[in-house]
A and B are shown apart, each in its own frame.
Chain A
Amino acid sequence: MTRDIENIQTAWQASEALRSGRISARDLTRACLERIAALEPSLSAFLALTEEIAMEAAARFDANPAAFPDPLAGVPAAVKDNMCLKGVPCTCASRILEGWEPPYNATAVQRILDRGGVICGKTNLDEFAMGSSTENSAFKVTRNPWNTSTVPGGSSGGSAAAVAAGQVFYALGSDTGGSIRQPASFCGIVGVKPTYGRVSRYGLVAYASSLDQIGPLTRDVRDAALVLNIICGHDPLDSTSYPGESPDFTQALVRDVQGMTVGLPREFFAQGVREDVAQAVQEGARVLEKAGAKIREISMPNVGYALPVYYIIAPAEASSNLARYDGVRYGHRSGAASDHVDMFMRSRAEGFGAEVKQRIMIGTYALSAGYYDAYYLKAQQVRTLLRRDFDRAFQECDVLLTPTSPTPAFAVGERADDPFQMKLADVCTIPVNLAGIPALSLPCGLVDGLPVGMQIMARPFDEETMLRAAYTFEQATEFHRLRPAI
C-alpha cells in the first residue's frame, strides 16, 4: 500500500489509482500529510496545515467518488498563503495580517473545493508575494528540495518545494513577475502563468492588480492542464476576468508541433543568462525542431526595459493595494499609538518587512503628483511598446522559447544583501506579466545538479498551443521524471 503511493508520481496517476479503487483518498491524503510532517523540518514549505479540511474532503470523495467526476477529485493539493481559504489564517507571510481569517474562499480555491479537491495546507511565500527566493517570509525560509542549502525560488517557493518534494500532487501559486515560473524552474517542475483574466483574482490578496495571476505548479504538463481546467473561467466577482468560455486544456495534450513556429528572442538569452542555462534551453529548441517545429531567432527591442518598467508599475499598484493594512479592522495593531494617525504609522512600521516597505516607498514616490508623469506614466507607455514587441513576435511565431531564469537556484542568503542581483532572477519572466500573455516553465536539464527551466510563451488566450509545445517536449525527454533525492 505505502509502496503503491510512493509509485504515484503525478496527480493524474493519483487520480487513476483512486478511480481504480487501489487506494482511498483518505489513505492518499494521510500519506501526504505524513510526508509533509516528515519533510517540513528540512523544507519549511508550509505556513499552515489544514488536516481537517483535507481529511473531510477525502472522506466525502471516498463516500461517493461518482459524485466527483473531476479527475483531480480526491487528490491532495496545497495553496499559496496569499489566497483565501475560509476560516484558515491567511498571512501572506506577513506580520501585518496576523490573526486574520478570511470569511470566504478565493474563487480559484472554491473551484477546487467544489470539484472534490483536497487542500492539505497553505504554503510559504515571500511577504505579499514580493521576492524571488521565499527568503522574505516573515515566518520561515523555505528550502529547495534538490539542495536544501539553495532557495526554492519565489515568491511561490513554498508551493514549488511542496510539489517537487512530493508533499502534495499539485499546488496553486500566484505570478506577478514570474512567481510561479521561476520557482517551478528552480524546483524542476511545471509552472503556468495563464493569460491575464483567465483565472479569477477574487480572493487572491493583491500585490499588483494589473499583473497578478493565479496558476498551477505541477509535476508534469498533463497535471497543469487538469488544474487549469478547474481554475479557469469567468467570475462575476472579478470584472477583469475573461467573459468567454474556457477550453478543455487536456485536448491540447498532443505530441505534435509539426509546422509550429518557435521563436527564440535573442534579448532573453542576454541579460546575465548563464551559458549552461542558455545551452540547455537551446537544446530544448532542437528537441522541438526535431519534432517538426520551425525555429526562428527574433528580436524584441524593448524587452530590456521590462525590469525597470515592472519596478515602477508593480510597486505603484502595491503601495495602493497595501494601504488597507492600517490596523483599524484586522491584523496587527500597534499597542503604543497616541492617535489614529500614529496608530497607522506604528502598525505599518511594525507589521511590514523591509522588502515590502521598500516597494511601498518606491510606489508612493512613483505615483506622487510631481513624479507621476516621469515614472508611472512613462512606465505605462513603455509597457505599451513592450506589448507591441510581443504582438509583432506573435505575428511570426506561434510560441516563444526562453530560459525561465538566468541561473539555477542560488544559495540561501547569497543574494539577500544584493537586491539588484535578486531581482535579476525574474528578468526573463517579467515581460510576460507586463504583456498579459500566458507562459509556462518546464524542466529542460540539470546544471550543477540543479534543475533548469525552459519558458514557453504564447499569444493571449492561446494556452493550448503553449501546452501542446510543452507536452511534445516533455514526451520527447525525461527531465520531468527527475525527482530530488529528499
Chain B
Amino acid sequence: MAVDIAESGFEAVIGMEVHAELLTRSKMFCSCSAEFGGEPNTRCCPVCLGLPGSLPVANRQAVEFVVRAAMALNCEINRETFFHRKNYFYPDLPKGYQISQYGDTPIGVRGWIEIETEDGTVKRIGIRRVHLEEDTGKLLHSSPSESEVDYNRSGVPLMEIVTEHDPRPGFDQINTAYEAREYIMQLRQILLYLGVCDGKMEEGSLRCEPNVSVRPAGSREYGTRTELKNLNSFRSVYRGLEYEIRRQIETIRSGGVVVHETRRWDEENEVTAPMRGKELEQEYRYFPEPDLLPFRFEEAQLEQLRRELPELPLQRRRRFEEMGLSRADAATLTSEKAIADWFEEAARDYGDPKPIANWVLSELLRLLNQAGEGIQSCKVRPAQLASLVRLIDDGTISGKIAKGVFEEMFRTGRDPGQIVEASGQTQISDEEAILSVVRKVIAGNERVAADVRGGKEKSIGFLVGQVMKETGGRANPRLVNELLRRELGAG
C-alpha cells in the first residue's frame, strides 16, 4: 500500500487506551504477590480465585499510585470514588465480573499530557479518565482442544488511562502514528518517574490499545473506528497505526466501508487482521460493588501526595536545557529517572554540568550499553566521576588516560585517585622532566624540527606525539606544546 498519508487529503484521529500494571507488592484485593511470572497458579488465594465466600479488600497503595499518576497527568482528583462491577463471562475471569471503576467518578478526570509532534510543535493531549481496576487471569492454550488458565495475574492492580475522544477547547487529539508513539513514550516515562509501573511493554505490564479512524482533512465528523490489539513495543504502535491508517484510506478510496471491529497487529507480516466483530456492543451490567465501601480522600491526604510528586521528565528536560545542555543531550539524560538522578548528583558535586554531561553521555552510557546493564547496577558513584574530572582539571592525568581510568572504575568501582596512583599514570607536569624529553625528541627528529622552524606549523603535532610516546602518554600535553614551541622558536 503506497498511500502517502500526508498527501492523501485524509487525517486520522487516534484514541489511546493504555493499561499499566502497578508496581504494588500485593494484588488489588488480597495479599498475594503481584510480581510478574511464577509457576502458573502459585500466586493465588481464595480472593483472587473468586472462591465462594471470599471478599475483596482494596489495596491502599494501589489507590495512592493511581492518585499520583492522575496528578502527574494533570487530572482533577475525585474526592469520592467508587468501584463498580463489570459483569461478563470468560474463563480467565474467576468471579464472572471484574472490579473496575465506571461512570463519572474514576480517581482522575480531565487531565492532559504534552507531546512533541514531528515538526517540533507541542501538543496538549486531553486525558478523559484515569482509573483503577483488577487484571484477569491468562489463558494458556495447551492443545487445540484444551485450554488451561493461569490466575497469577488475576487481581493484579491495573491502571487505565484513556485519552479524550473529543477534546475540550485548548486541548488536542492524536492524529498520527508518530504522535501516538510519542504519547505512549511520554506516558511510559512519566509512569517510570513516578515508580508506579515498570513500563515493560514486552511483558505486558504496559499495554496499549489504540483506536483509529480517518476522515477528510479538516472534517469535524468522525469516521468508523477500529481498535488495534497486540501492540507490545513502541515500534509496533507506530507500524501498526501507520498500516491501519493507510488501510482505512485505501478502503474508502476504493469505495469500500471501514468496519467497526477489533484488529490484531501481526508483528511478523506487518499487517492488521480482524479479530472479532464489534457490531454488538457488550452488555457489562455495571453496578456499584457492594463488597467495597466508597473511597473518600481527605484534602490533607491529597496535598501530601501532591507534595511527594517527583519532578516529571518534561520539566526536568527543560531545566537541563536551562543548565546549558543541548536539547538532545537533555532528552537523553532525562530518558530515565535514574540516569538523570545520577547525572545531577555528579554535576552538583563537580559544580559544572557540562563536562559531567559529556562523560555520562559518551563513556558511562556506552559502557552500560556494552555491559547490557542499567544505571541501577553501575559500580561508579556520581562523586567518583566528579573527582575523576577534577584530576583532569588539575593536570594530574590527561583526558586520554582518564578514559582508561574510567573504564577501570566501571569494572571495579574503585576511586579514580587510587587507580591513578596504583598504576603510576599520573601526568608529568614537571617542566624540567618534560624539557629533557622535548630536547631529546628534537635531536632525534632534526628534519621535522627544521620544517617547524621553517614555518610548517602542522608538523609540530608529530613531535608532540613523539614526546607523549616517550613518556607513556603521561606528559602534560599543554606543557609539551608550550615547551616544543619555545625550543623551536615557533608560534
Contact = CB atoms under 8 A, between A and B. Distances in A.
A210 B287 CA distance: 12
B52 A103 contact: no
A323 interface: yes
Interface stretch (A11-19, A186-194, A196-204, A349-357): A196-204
B421 interface: no
Contact of B56 (A90, A92, A210, A239): A239
B290 A90 contact: no
Contact of B89 (A210, A317, A323): A323
Nearest to B281: A369
A486 B149 CA distance: 52
A344 B57 CA distance: 28
B290 A341 contact: no
Contact of A205 (B52, B58, B283, B290): B52
Nearest to B90: A340
Interface residues of A, number: 45
Interface in B42-91: 46, 49-58, 85, 87, 89, 91
A54 interface: no
Nearest to B147: A340
Contacts of B293: 239-240
B55 A320 contact: no
Contacts of A344: 89
Given A104-B46, A368-B283, A323 B96 contact: yes
B54 A202 contact: yes
A206 interface: yes
Interface string B89-111: 10100111100000000000000
A372 interface: yes
A326 B54 CA distance: 16
A422 interface: no
B227 to A, nearest CB: 20
B94 A320 contact: no
B290 A326 contact: no
Contacts of A326: 89, 91, 96
Interface string B279-311: 000010111001111000000000000000000
Given A240-B293, A367-B285, A324 B50 contact: yes
Contacts of B53: 83-84, 90, 102, 104, 106, 202-206
Contact of B290 (A317, A325, A329): A317
Contact of B287 (A100, A340, A367): A367
Contacts of A325: 96
A323 B95 contact: yes
A234 B286 CA distance: 29
A376 interface: yes
A11 B87 CA distance: 44
A103 to B, nearest CB: 7
A239 B94 contact: no
B95 A372 contact: no
A364 interface: yes
A316 interface: yes
A346 B35 CA distance: 36
A236 interface: yes
Interface string B336-351: 0000000000000000
Given A102-B53, A317-B290, A340 B285 contact: no
B285 A320 contact: yes
Given A209-B290, A341-B89, A329 B52 contact: no
A100 B49 CA distance: 14
Contacts of A92: 52
A332 to B, nearest CB: 13
A97 interface: yes
A447 interface: no
B55 A202 contact: yes
Contacts of A237: 55, 57
Contacts of A106: 53
Interface string B108-120: 0000000000000
A320 B52 contact: no
Contacts of A328: 91, 94, 149
Indicate the member of B58, B87, B285, B293 with the most A CB atoms within 10 Å: B285
A100 B52 CA distance: 10
A4 interface: no
Nearest to B151: A329
A238 interface: yes
Contacts of A206: 52-53, 291
Interface in B316-346: none
Contacts of A341: 89
A367 B87 contact: yes
Interface string A368-381: 11001000100000
Contacts of B51: 102-104, 330
A372 to B, nearest CB: 7
Given A106-B53, A239-B57, A320 B89 contact: no
B147 A324 contact: no
A370 to B, nearest CB: 9
Contact of A323 (B57, B87, B290, B291): B87
Contacts of B285: 319-320, 364, 367-369, 372
Contact of B97 (A240, A323, A369): A323
Interface in A205-227: 205-206, 208-210
Given A103-B46, A104-B46, A240 B94 contact: no
Contact of A320 (B49, B54, B287): B287
A84 B55 contact: no
A364 B85 CA distance: 13
B132 to A, nearest CB: 15
A322 B53 CA distance: 11
A309 to B, nearest CB: 15
A90 B53 CA distance: 10
Nearest to A238: B55
Contact of A324 (B95, B149, B291): B95
B55 A201 contact: yes
A100 B350 CA distance: 68
A203 B55 CA distance: 8
A395 to B, nearest CB: 26
Contacts of A208: 290
Given A320-B287, A340-B147, A376-B287, A102 B52 contact: yes
Indicate the member of B52, B97, B287 with the most A CB atoms within 10 Å: B52
A450 to B, nearest CB: 34
B66 to A, nearest CB: 18
B287 A239 contact: no
Nearest to A212: B290
Given A320-B87, A324-B96, A344-B89, A329 B287 contact: no
Contact of B58 (A203, A209, A239): A239
Nearest to B89: A344
A322 B290 CA distance: 14
A83 B54 CA distance: 11
Contacts of B97: 320, 323
Contact of A209 (B49, B96, B283, B291): B291
Nearest to A344: B89
B237 to A, nearest CB: 31
B257 to A, nearest CB: 26
9 contacts: A84-B53, A202-B53, A239-B55, A239-B291, A317-B287, A323-B89, A324-B94, A329-B94, A372-B287
Interface of A: 83-84, 90, 92, 97, 100, 102-104, 106, 201-206, 208-210, 236-240, 316-317, 319-320, 322-326, 328-330, 340-341, 344, 364, 367-369, 372, 376
Given A106-B53, A317-B287, A329-B49, 8 more contacts: A103-B51, A104-B46, A204-B53, A205-B53, A238-B55, A239-B55, A320-B285, A368-B285
Interface of B: 46, 49-58, 85, 87, 89, 91, 94-97, 147, 149, 283, 285-287, 290-293
Q: Which 8 A-B pairs have the closest CB atoms?
A: A323-B96, A209-B290, A367-B285, A210-B290, A203-B53, A205-B52, A324-B96, A84-B53
